Chains A and B, each alone.
Chain A
Amino acid sequence: MSDLDLSEQAALSNAWQNWYRFSRNPTAVIGAIIVVVAVLLAVFAPYIVPYPADAGAVVDFQHRHLPPSWEHWFGTDNTGRDNFSRAIYGLRVSLALAGVVLVIAVPVGTVLGILAGYFGGWTEIVIMRLTDIALAIPPLVVALAVAAVLEPTLLNSMLALASLWWTWHARLVYSVTRQVRAQEYIEAAETLGASKLHILFREILPNVISPVAVKTSLDAGFVILIGAALSYLGLGVRPPTPDLGTMVANGANFLPDFWWESMLPATVILVLALGFNLLGDGLRDLFDVEDVR
């Protein structure tokens, strides 16, 4: 058996070990199940929901404000649409928002954080001062302002949130990089003449991946909450596209009599955010990165 096989074997058993530890952690498993189920529901929404047509602008006055029942698990809304179908479709908007914001913010924040942490000097001053400014702006307020100035569309909300969100990742990666940079093996690589690119992305980046993974999972939940708040304030996707925050806002007009119209979609948001949070907590235990939040 060659050396290569051994290291492959080691990697494999390592993955098994990780999987074993993950599967023994009930909160992590519950979180993972919630997230996976939500993604599957969102992707296959048209084939799953009982009333796919209700995702559009349907008016059915005979069936308005029906309470939860076997036919309508979440009841119906004020134009007679099935709330369960709309809530499942609403998952798409929430997940897309979190996905796009993090796909932009995480790589940008990671690269800038590594650069600031490794090079120091002016690079550090410029990048870290930028993050300080961004942290002084409440994200929801900026998203509101951008949505107000531009047209309030999902894309604009995504861009507004992404333009601030990278700072959190930059700060996290920066502090990890600072710790790693002082270690001897980095010095050894420098002495051996390794290129900057090699040091940044082959020597330092692997240390950053687990804390960033934890933070990304936790953040997905928070982005979903902010997105829901935005659409609750009427700055989310345009009707009739189903959206959980908008459903809560509409349903709130009919409180307390038709409570299901606002409370059940709100519960869906809560469970979705909870899923990402539990998953993040579980990953934190797994990777043993205590101070990420």
Chain B
Amino acid sequence: MEFAAFLLRRLAWSLLVLVGLSIVIFTIARVMPGDPARMALGPRASAEQVEALQTELGLNKPFVEQYLGYVSGLVRGDLGQSLLTRRSVSDDMRASFPATLELVLITILFAFAVGVPLGVIAANWKDRWPDNAVRGVAIFSAVMPSFFIALLLQVLAGYVLQILPTTGRLPRGTDFIASPTGMLLVDSLVQGRPDVFLEALRHLLLPALALSLATMGQVARITRASMIDVSRQDYIEAARAFGIPERLRLFKYQLRPAFVPPLTIAGLEFASLIGNAFVVELIFSFDGMAAYGVRAIQQKDLNAIMGVVMVSGVFFVLVNLVIDLAVGLVDPRVRIRGART
């Protein structure tokens, strides 16, 4: 019962955030100076042509009516059509988002697989050289520009060592149609193509590595702090006194409660991950939503830009919703207080 109430409150919450987000994005795109129809047709189009396109896109209706129209489309999964290609933005999103999702998920996996052990090591050897080394790595990863690490990896692994492919999602001319999910790692397994799976993984490694560095440092830092916090609890002292084996104490009694803060941080990290994905996808010619977004921005395709921002926002809100619910399941204090602090 208690959990149902928490779930409901949290859902209502996310919905409110999404409504707010849609208003902000719509206002940015419509109220800002410049006429989308004029932008789409270019400076040489006649006034009649611009007016015709305005009518077609509903740009001369009142603002509130336009917004409601956009939102009702949004609810049905319709993001409008691209001003340039006239293709449905939703279709473009369905084609490009899975690639970005795949990249981001692998990135998070990397970040936790490396970051959590680093944090545990640092906490266990607090103020000694492993701790200092990990803290150094954490600071360094926070200030490393995303394009710098991406270019470095590309040059090192791609040109100097020549061990990994540096562009695209698959070798040119690979005979493979990504369906049903659009995520190559999943689809290749579903279709029983281990060769494609391996190639897709090889192509994912460098971009995911480049993208994961910043998050990895954060995860290591938070895990360290949280492990140190927990280690000061009486029951850990008691576990030591009872002679419970070090490894069991460390991983079962200390790491499990200490795992909540890194998990919540992961939710917030998605925002910077999606941002950095724009740079990383561009550098590795990785054909995802961010690369699509960069193109849309260069061509001033307003509906496509709004689509990219909306999908990023929805994705971010959903991820945080899921994480909050997971944390609420693990930690009863959270669902009683209602929200995480």
Could you list which residues of chain A lie within 8 angstroms of chain B, going by C-beta atoms? 129-130, 132-133, 135-142, 144-150, 175, 221, 225-226, 228-229, 232-235, 245, 248-249, 252, 255-256, 259, 262-263, 266-267, 269-270, 273-274, 277-278, 281
Q: Which residues of A contact B32 (CB under 8 A)?
A: 146, 149-150
Docked complex Cα distance between A221 and B144 (Å)? 10
Q: Which residues of B contact A259 (CB under 8 A)?
A: 155
B268 CB within 8 Å of chain A: yes
Mask, B131-162, CB within 8 Å of A = 1, is 00000000110111111100110110001100
Q: Is the CB of A229 within 8 A of B139?
A: no
Known contacts: A136-B317, A137-B24, A144-B297. The answer to whether A150 contacts B34 by CB under 8 A is: yes
Docked complex Cα distance between A144 and B296 (Å)? 10
Q: Which residues of B contact A142 (CB under 8 A)?
A: 28, 309
Known contacts: A229-B278, A255-B151, A273-B143. The answer to whether A133 contacts B20 by CB under 8 A is: yes
- Taking the closest CB of chain A, its distance from the CB of B83, in whole angstroms, is 12
Known contacts: A149-B29, A221-B143, A277-B142. The answer to whether A133 contacts B24 by CB under 8 A is: yes
Q: Is the CB of A270 within 8 A of B17?
A: no
Q: Which residues of B contact A150 (CB under 8 A)?
A: 32-34
Q: Is the CB of B316 within 8 A of A138?
A: yes
B249 CB within 8 Å of chain A: no
Q: Is the CB of A270 within 8 A of B275?
A: no
Q: Is the CB of B274 within 8 A of A248?
A: no
Docked complex Cα distance between A202 and B299 (Å)? 51
6 further A-B contacts with Cβ under 8 Å, apart from A234-B298, A266-B151, A273-B143, are A141-B278, A148-B296, A149-B29, A149-B302, A226-B275, A274-B143
Q: Is the CB of B34 within 8 A of A149?
A: yes
Q: Which residues of A contact B18 (CB under 8 A)?
A: 136
Known contacts: A138-B312, A277-B143, A278-B139. The answer to whether A233 contacts B294 by CB under 8 A is: yes
Docked complex Cα distance between A162 and B110 (Å)? 32
B206 CB within 8 Å of chain A: no
Q: Is the CB of B300 within 8 A of A148?
A: yes
Write the chain A residue with the least CB distance to B297: A148
Q: Is the CB of A233 within 8 A of B282?
A: yes
In-complex Cβ contact of B278 among A136, A233, A273 (8 A)? A233
Docked complex Cα distance between A142 and B298 (Å)? 14
Known contacts: A132-B17, A266-B151. The answer to whether A140 contacts B143 by CB under 8 A is: no
- B-side interface size class: 35 or more
- Taking the closest CB of chain B, its distance from the CB of A270, in whole angstroms, is 6
Docked complex Cα distance between A245 and B279 (Å)? 11
Q: List 27 A-B contacts (CB under 8 A).
A: A133-B17, A133-B20, A136-B271, A136-B317, A137-B21, A137-B24, A138-B312, A138-B316, A141-B275, A141-B278, A142-B309, A148-B297, A148-B305, A149-B28, A149-B305, A150-B34, A225-B143, A228-B147, A232-B279, A233-B294, A234-B298, A248-B145, A255-B151, A262-B151, A267-B148, A274-B140, A281-B139
Q: Which residues of A contact B279 (CB under 8 A)?
A: 229, 232-233
Write the chain A residue with the least CB distance to B16: A129
Write the chain B residue with the least CB distance to A248: B147
Q: Is the CB of A138 within 8 A of B297?
A: no
In-complex Cβ contact of B147 among A133, A232, A274, A277 (8 A)? A232
Most buried by B among A149, A252, A270: A149
Q: Is the CB of B297 within 8 A of A256?
A: no
Q: Is the CB of A269 within 8 A of B155?
A: no
Q: Which residues of B contact A249 (CB under 8 A)?
A: 147
Q: Which residues of A contact B159 (CB under 8 A)?
A: 255-256
B293 CB within 8 Å of chain A: yes
Q: Is the CB of A228 within 8 A of B275?
A: no
Q: Is the CB of B282 within 8 A of A138?
A: no
Q: Is the CB of A139 within 8 A of B275?
A: yes
Docked complex Cα distance between A149 and B279 (Å)? 19
- Taking the closest CB of chain B, its distance from the CB of A215, in whole angstroms, is 14
In-complex Cβ contact of A277 among B139, B145, B155, B272 (8 A)? B139
- Taking the closest CB of chain A, its distance from the CB of B315, in whole angstroms, is 10
Q: Which residues of A contact B306 (CB under 8 A)?
A: 145
Q: Which residues of A contact B268 (CB under 8 A)?
A: 135
Q: Which residues of A contact B182 (CB under 8 A)?
A: none
In-complex Cβ contact of B151 among A130, A136, A252 (8 A)? A252
Q: Which residues of B contact A146 (CB under 8 A)?
A: 28, 32
Docked complex Cα distance between A141 and B151 (Å)? 21
Docked complex Cα distance between A269 and B312 (Å)? 27
Q: Is the CB of A269 within 8 A of B145?
A: yes
- Taking the closest CB of chain B, its distance from the CB of A251, in whole angstroms, is 9
Q: Which residues of B contact A278 (CB under 8 A)?
A: 139
B341 CB within 8 Å of chain A: yes
Docked complex Cα distance between A145 and B300 (Å)? 9
Q: Which residues of B contact A144 (CB under 8 A)?
A: 278, 293-294, 297, 305
- Taking the closest CB of chain B, its distance from the CB of A276, in whole angstroms, is 8
